[in-house]
A and B are shown apart, each in its own frame.
Chain A
Amino acid sequence: MTVRVHITRALSLLAIALSLATGARMARATDVSVYDPKKLVTPPIHKVTPAQPQRFVLPNGAVVFLLENHELPVVSGVAYFKSSPALVPDDRVGLASLAGEVMRSGGTATHPGDALDDRLAAIGAAINSGIGADQANGGFRCLTENTSEVIGTWADVLRHPAFPDDKIELAKVGLRRTIASRNDEMVGLLTRTASQAVYGKKNKYAREAEYATVEPITKADCDKLHAAVFVPERAVLAIYGDFKTADMKTLLAAKFGDWKASGTPAPPAVETPRTVTPKLLFAPKDDVTQSGIVITQPGSRADDPDYASLQVLEQGLGGGFQSRLFNKIRTQRGLAYATGANAGSDYHRPGVFLAYSLTKSESTMVALSLLREEVAKVTKATFTSDELDAAKQSVVNGFVFNFEDPSQVLFRSAFYELNGYPLDFLLKYQKDLDAVTAQSVLEAAKRKITPEAQVAIIVGREKDFDAKLESAGLSVERVDITIPPPPHQGPEVKATPEARVQGQQWLAGAAKLAGGSSAWAAVKTVKITTAASVSIQGQNISFSGEETWKLPNKQVAVQKLPFGEVKQGFDGRSGWMSGMGQLQDNPKAAEAVAKESERSLWRLLGEPAKFTLVALDAPEKADGKDYRAAVVEGAKQEDLTVLFDEGGRLAGVAYHDEGSPQMPAARVQELMTDWRAEGALQYPHAMKVLRDGKVFLDAKVTAIVLNPVVTDDMFVKPAK
């Protein structure tokens, strides 16, 4: 008995000892109530007064903010400037990004880009530059010991960028790659489509750099943009870190003091649409298992009276773990990893409201309808008091993070200064936040969110969707995301005087062989009848045609196709077409006729002296034969080339065709044979057209009338 008691007691003592040693496990087994966060009392927050930057203005108008901080041996700074997308012409989109990059990569006369790269790398410093839509920046960061040198270089880069050609070309190489890959990743495609949906494709904020807009950018374009943006009277400089304010003032005066105000006008503002037409935009992307979904509309500015309420709304709708979208779409249904919303408040311009979700292809339409439902709900009923508390408190209690790092106060001040916001904007916002109620959120939502006028966007693999796009009840518009190909690059032409003489001789010889240029020049009108067969998509279609010209540019042509007659005309000013009971304008006729006229035999052979032909060293191959080739200098169409056979006869023309929605771009070769006498001249009675080397059209001339009587009204669009 006693023994047992002892053993029992020993065991229990051991147990106590063990429980002391492994208190952790015991606590877990016994009581977790200590972990109840709801029982905690929140102590008052420490009051810390953040250091305020010093502000002053240089005589040239540049505003400077300085804030010392000696915790780390580093100095960093930024210069902000106003910009505007209006400064970039429509045919130079990509200029802002290119010029922003080349400012730094190309360096200056005293600090060429490559040398700058090496020097900054050697001292562990960085200088950056960039030009955005509304704002341009140039920044630096360096160790304390290099402050003077780096600020000097930074000022030089801001003020005197060299924009050398080789770095412009290097930036173009980068932009070309960016364009080529812009449909590769889902999120990029989705945000681009959203921006175009809200602003409209042609709005200056939504324009996209294309090969055709990047190629023509020159140093002169960069200089012009730089001169309009980087001026001292619209500069705000902010410098932070390990320096003495008095020394820094002296340094800045030395580096920026002689920078003269430009007196140029402020970059113009660009209007953005206030509303959008409701629809569903669909952009196809087949290499995905997940769809990207967005609903969007124009947003508002940060100085809008609803700003504080909208921030709380964003938090509650899609701003974090506690938001409705996160709960409904992610947590409760497992439909998405990424989902949320942005209220669309921007400092520079009305922003873009967005609600988004990425979900598997098979739940695309259900996720879209959930998104729409949740967005609509916030405009119809108030948040519950619990939701409002959660959303509001997360913003209110998180407010202190605006002062987490002393540099935030500095850079924020500079940003407000540049964009015309009062320096106490944040404090005003804090007051507004306190006043936000469930009702004010609802009212702001009603004013700013219009579920009946939003665009829905889906990017994904349609065949895997859970329902038809039309099931959303919106008009469906399919977006063409094809990237326009780069402008055609022809063979390199070496325009030596010898090559010009040679080209001219070839053409003169060919004109002689065809009856002499005066015989060709004597033709003022012509009517040609042909029988042709054309190969389209593996099918051969035969047709006959008749075209009448009043040279150089009035034209009417009738083609009798298996499915009916098509007539086209151009009266020297405007074009038209008719067929199958339809009559319509053809705005593209002017350009097409001008090009056709330029490469016509009547001009090449009738006015050979008006052309400058440059003979090429290499022959051009067409339909299995080599021809002598000469390029027409200054032609309206790209790569207009005239081909000659061994006997010196004109054998055809070749050019680059940009293509159309029905027809891809191609190198076109028109080969002419079977030359026969027609009056005083020789005319080719057979023609073969090749596109990218493949036979596309075969035609025989069945009749030709020189100088027939024509009337001007033949070419004019018929009344009906």
Chain B
Amino acid sequence: MPTSRSYPGLRHLLMALTLIACTAAFAAAKPAPKPAAAGTAPVHTGLENLEKQVQEFTLANGLRFIVVERHQAPVFSFFTVVNSGSANDQVGTTGIAHMMEHMAFKGTSLVGTKNYAAEKPLLAAEETAWSALLDERRKGAHASEARLKQLGETFADAQKASNQYVVGNEYTKMIEQAGGQGINAFTAEDITAYFYSLPSNRLELWAALHAGALVDPVFREFYKERDVVYEERRMRVESSPIGRLFYEFITTAFSAHPYGFGGIGYPSDLKSFSRTQGEQFFKRNYVAKNMTIAVVGDVDLAQVKQLAEKYFGAISDAPAPPPLDTVEPEQIAERRVLLEDKAQPFVLVGWHVPAASDPHYAAYRAAADLLGGGEYSRLYKALVKEQKVAVQAEMGVGQPGEKYPTLMFAVLVPASGQDPEKVERAAYKVIDEAMTTKPFTAEELDGYKVRVRAAKIGAVDGNSSLAGELAQSQNLYGDWHQFFREQERVQELAVKDLLDVLKTSVKKSNRTVGMIQNPAAAAANEGGH
């Protein structure tokens, strides 16, 4: 397909920024559901036929399925959204939502084991050994060195013992062997998602494996996998300058809401939480009413329904966990995080804005696009093309999540030798002008409306992408139709709506700034002759 420009786009950049791959979550960012005003002429989207092909059903336990039959190739993709993510973590066990994503591939009592009857008591013994070790460790300065050592050895032995019955990666191997493609999952703040594609003659295999992991999961190799997750933390956060900055930025921007945990988990928690705690999280959150599954491709609705009832009907019908009650308090003072680093300067700015369910959310998205959506936008023209003080200047809405009040953000990449604070000030000037002396024009807004339509069409190209869009729309708004309604909502936007939301949120006291400063680069600038 056509190649991309030299500079990665905003979405690409956010992949690097976001702690746990939540690209798809961003791609699917959607504005608020607001019914089209009566009398508005329907918008021709080019997706009318596709919308008619979307079918759905709900199992007795409350699990919602969305199905699109597309028979052009003998393959299908699925996308499962669990409506719990890192924001459902709690202090002491942060990172545990993400841990579920890893455990989902460890198998069941039938897959991944040589003999579950023999493995089961050994897993219990491993748990007892871990608990004893943790209890001793919790004594801190009073813990006995000798006892810690002995308990550590007991725990290691218990892991070895249970491990002898493990058939490593058998679960994923079965998917791969069947021709599975893109076997993956991600944990975002709002959701955890699972997705891959298979040849369509493997539909029942998929149902048995996927439902098996939801009905009868066995969290074997839990503690080794906890180490793997810690390595993921090292890779995404500790060893990457932008990862470090994003972590400091997001943990500063949110003082109360769990979005401020930073997703990946605190190092201490990643060394403490237990399999038992993992199982408790699973039991509470992986219930039918808290999930949506979309299946798109060479499938037959009746068959999907029959297999869904047979395999997924046994998922717990317990009530879905309630939404979080904690609301991020109003920010009353600017927050700044300065990361002195060897890496090149980098700037993030975030302003608190409402959740996706807010009626003004669409206006925020439009404003962010006109300010920082690409080469055509105000920030790019001023900072990159004209002043040449930055090589990238982009804006977006909806990080780190969309379910709860979130951030509108700017990503500014200073050109070599440019003072990041100067670039930051240059960006504020452009945004201030948009709110005062140079308001957006109707022509600019019209362009945005066209781009939304084009982007929608791009988003449904491909089974996996369409499945992801529909499942996430259903999950966020309780109605997959909202995916198709966005263009109608966008059509109603007026320039004033954009200016109003900017005036509400773009205030110094409402912003968090994160910045990499490179002392060596700064000294070179001052000492220039």
| Contact string against B for A residues 117-129, beta-carbon threshold 8 Å, 1 for contact and 0 otherwise | 1101111111111
* Contact among B72, B172, B384 with A406 in the assembled complex (CB-CB below 8 Å): B72
Smallest Cβ-Cβ distance to B226: which chain A residue = A334
* Contact among A34, A129, A137 with B311 in the assembled complex (CB-CB below 8 Å): A34
Of A23, A28, A321, A405, which is in contact with the most chain B CB atoms at under 10 Å from its CB?
Answer: A321
* Given A321-B176, A334-B227, A394-B177: A72 touches B46 (CB 8 Å cut-off): yes
Minimum Cβ distance to chain B for residue A94 (Å): 11
Q: Are the C-beta atoms of A122 and B447 separated by less than 8 Å? A: yes
Interface residues of A in 1-36 (CB under 8 A from B): 22-25, 27-28, 32-36
What residues of B have a CB within 8 angstroms of the CB of A97 in the complex? 6
Minimum Cβ distance to chain B for residue A386 (Å): 9
| Contact string against A for B residues 424-455, beta-carbon threshold 8 Å, 1 for contact and 0 otherwise | 00000000000000000001001100111111
Minimum Cβ distance to chain B for residue A603 (Å): 26
- Interface stretch of the complex, out of A39-47, A423-431, A504-512: A39-47
Q: Are the C-beta atoms of A332 and B224 separated by less than 8 Å? A: yes
Q: Are the C-beta atoms of A129 and B204 separated by less than 8 Å? A: no
Q: Are the C-beta atoms of A326 and B169 separated by less than 8 Å? A: yes
Interface residues of B in 222-273 (CB under 8 A from A): 223-232, 234-235, 238-242
| Bound-state Cα–Cα, A334 to B176, Å | 21
| Contact string against B for A residues 54-77, beta-carbon threshold 8 Å, 1 for contact and 0 otherwise | 000000000000000001111011
- For residue B507, CB closer than 8 A to chain A, the reply is no
Of B173, B174, B205, which is in contact with the most chain A CB atoms at under 10 Å from its CB?
Answer: B173
- For residue B461, CB closer than 8 A to chain A, the reply is yes
Smallest Cβ-Cβ distance to B375: which chain A residue = A117
Q: Are the C-beta atoms of B1 and A332 separated by less than 8 Å? A: no
Q: Are the C-beta atoms of B5 and A124 separated by less than 8 Å? A: no
Question: What is the number of contacts between chain A and chain B, taking CB atoms within 8 Å?
Answer: 314
- For residue B57, CB closer than 8 A to chain A, the reply is no
What residues of A have a CB within 8 angstroms of the CB of B181 in the complex? 398, 401
| Bound-state Cα–Cα, A25 to B216, Å | 11
What residues of A have a CB within 8 angstroms of the CB of B87 in the complex? none
- For residue B314, CB closer than 8 A to chain A, the reply is yes
| Bound-state Cα–Cα, A140 to B1, Å | 9
Smallest Cβ-Cβ distance to A51: which chain B residue = B72
- For residue A181, CB closer than 8 A to chain B, the reply is yes
Of A127, A138, A358, A399, which is in contact with the most chain B CB atoms at under 10 Å from its CB?
Answer: A358
Minimum Cβ distance to chain B for residue A320 (Å): 5
- For residue B411, CB closer than 8 A to chain A, the reply is no
Q: Are the C-beta atoms of A320 and B183 separated by less than 8 Å? A: yes
* Contact among B6, B221, B235 with A290 in the assembled complex (CB-CB below 8 Å): B235
| Bound-state Cα–Cα, A467 to B495, Å | 63
What residues of A have a CB within 8 angstroms of the CB of B311 in the complex? 34-35
Smallest Cβ-Cβ distance to B75: which chain A residue = A404
What residues of A have a CB within 8 angstroms of the CB of B493 in the complex? none
Minimum Cβ distance to chain B for residue A628 (Å): 17
- For residue A174, CB closer than 8 A to chain B, the reply is yes
| Bound-state Cα–Cα, A47 to B232, Å | 41
Smallest Cβ-Cβ distance to A139: which chain B residue = B2
Minimum Cβ distance to chain B for residue A24 (Å): 5
Q: Are the C-beta atoms of A128 and B208 separated by less than 8 Å? A: no
Minimum Cβ distance to chain B for residue A397 (Å): 3
What residues of A have a CB within 8 angstroms of the CB of B26 in the complex? none
Q: Are the C-beta atoms of A35 and B110 separated by less than 8 Å? A: yes
Q: Are the C-beta atoms of A290 and B375 separated by less than 8 Å? A: no
* Given A173-B391, A336-B231: A118 touches B376 (CB 8 Å cut-off): yes
| Bound-state Cα–Cα, A398 to B178, Å | 7
What residues of A have a CB within 8 angstroms of the CB of B316 in the complex? 24-25, 28
Q: Are the C-beta atoms of A177 and B225 separated by less than 8 Å? A: no
Minimum Cβ distance to chain A for residue B76 (Å): 10
Minimum Cβ distance to chain B for residue A463 (Å): 15
Minimum Cβ distance to chain B for residue A539 (Å): 23
Minimum Cβ distance to chain B for residue A710 (Å): 39
| Bound-state Cα–Cα, A399 to B223, Å | 36
What residues of A have a CB within 8 angstroms of the CB of B111 in the complex? 36-38
Minimum Cβ distance to chain B for residue A617 (Å): 15
| Contact string against A for B residues 367-404, beta-carbon threshold 8 Å, 1 for contact and 0 otherwise | 00000001110000100110010010000000000000
Q: Are the C-beta atoms of A337 and B179 separated by less than 8 Å? A: no
What residues of A have a CB within 8 angstroms of the CB of B180 in the complex? 394, 398
| Bound-state Cα–Cα, A48 to B111, Å | 32
Minimum Cβ distance to chain B for residue A694 (Å): 12
| Bound-state Cα–Cα, A522 to B113, Å | 97
- Interface stretch of the complex, out of B141-149, B193-201, B329-337: B193-201
What residues of B have a CB within 8 angstroms of the CB of A289 in the complex? 234, 238-239
Smallest Cβ-Cβ distance to A176: which chain B residue = B416
Chain A interface: which size bin? Answer: 35 or more
Minimum Cβ distance to chain A for residue B47 (Å): 8
Interface residues of B in 446-475 (CB under 8 A from A): 446-447, 450-455, 457-458, 460-463
What residues of B have a CB within 8 angstroms of the CB of A44 in the complex? 201
* Given A78-B1, A393-B177: A358 touches B235 (CB 8 Å cut-off): yes
- For residue A411, CB closer than 8 A to chain B, the reply is yes
Q: Are the C-beta atoms of A28 and B215 separated by less than 8 Å? A: yes
What residues of B have a CB within 8 angstroms of the CB of A72 in the complex? 46-47, 50, 457, 460-461
Q: Are the C-beta atoms of A45 and B5 separated by less than 8 Å? A: no
- For residue A541, CB closer than 8 A to chain B, the reply is no
| Bound-state Cα–Cα, A481 to B474, Å | 49
Q: Are the C-beta atoms of B415 and A393 separated by less than 8 Å? A: no
Of B1, B4, B46, B74, which is in contact with the most chain A CB atoms at under 10 Å from its CB?
Answer: B1
- Interface stretch of the complex, out of B35-43, B78-86, B340-348, B357-365: B340-348
Minimum Cβ distance to chain B for residue A317 (Å): 14
What residues of A have a CB within 8 angstroms of the CB of B4 in the complex? 128, 130
Q: Are the C-beta atoms of B1 and A397 separated by less than 8 Å? A: no
| Bound-state Cα–Cα, A210 to B446, Å | 42
Q: Are the C-beta atoms of A137 and B2 separated by less than 8 Å? A: yes
What residues of B have a CB within 8 angstroms of the CB of A185 in the complex? 240-242
Q: Are the C-beta atoms of B391 and A73 separated by less than 8 Å? A: no
Q: Are the C-beta atoms of B384 and A170 separated by less than 8 Å? A: yes
Interface residues of A in 139-179 (CB under 8 A from B): 139-144, 169-171, 173-174, 176-177, 179
* Contact among A37, A78, A184, A389 with B2 in the assembled complex (CB-CB below 8 Å): A78
What residues of B have a CB within 8 angstroms of the CB of A390 in the complex? 173, 176-177
What residues of A have a CB within 8 angstroms of the CB of B172 in the complex? 320-322
What residues of A have a CB within 8 angstroms of the CB of B457 in the complex? 72-74, 143
Interface residues of A in 365-420 (CB under 8 A from B): 389-390, 393-394, 396-401, 403-407, 411
- For residue A432, CB closer than 8 A to chain B, the reply is no
What residues of B have a CB within 8 angstroms of the CB of A338 in the complex? 231, 235
Of B163, B197, B314, B374, which is in contact with the most chain A CB atoms at under 10 Å from its CB?
Answer: B314
* Given A27-B313, A124-B451, A128-B5: A288 touches B75 (CB 8 Å cut-off): no
| Bound-state Cα–Cα, A54 to B234, Å | 50
What residues of B have a CB within 8 angstroms of the CB of A130 in the complex? 3-6
* Contact among A34, A48, A123 with B74 in the assembled complex (CB-CB below 8 Å): A48
Minimum Cβ distance to chain B for residue A471 (Å): 22
- For residue A697, CB closer than 8 A to chain B, the reply is no
* Given A35-B211, A40-B204, A321-B172: A141 touches B239 (CB 8 Å cut-off): no
Smallest Cβ-Cβ distance to B267: which chain A residue = A289
Q: Are the C-beta atoms of B231 and A23 separated by less than 8 Å? A: no
* Given A72-B457, A76-B1, A139-B3: A37 touches B209 (CB 8 Å cut-off): yes
CB<8 Å pairs between A and B, sample of 7 = A72-B460, A118-B376, A130-B6, A176-B415, A176-B416, A322-B169, A331-B168
6 new A-B contacts, CB < 8 A, other than A35-B209, A138-B2, are A46-B200, A76-B2, A122-B443, A130-B3, A186-B239, A390-B173
Nearest first, the 8 closest Cβ-Cβ pairs linking A and B are A139-B2, A397-B179, A124-B454, A334-B227, A321-B172, A121-B376, A73-B46, A35-B212
A residues engaging B (CB < 8 A)?
Answer: 22-25, 27-28, 32-38, 40, 42-48, 50, 71-74, 76-78, 97, 100-101, 104-105, 114, 117-118, 120-130, 137-144, 169-171, 173-174, 176-177, 179-181, 184-186, 286-290, 320-322, 326-327, 330-338, 358-360, 389-390, 393-394, 396-401, 403-407, 411, 491, 667
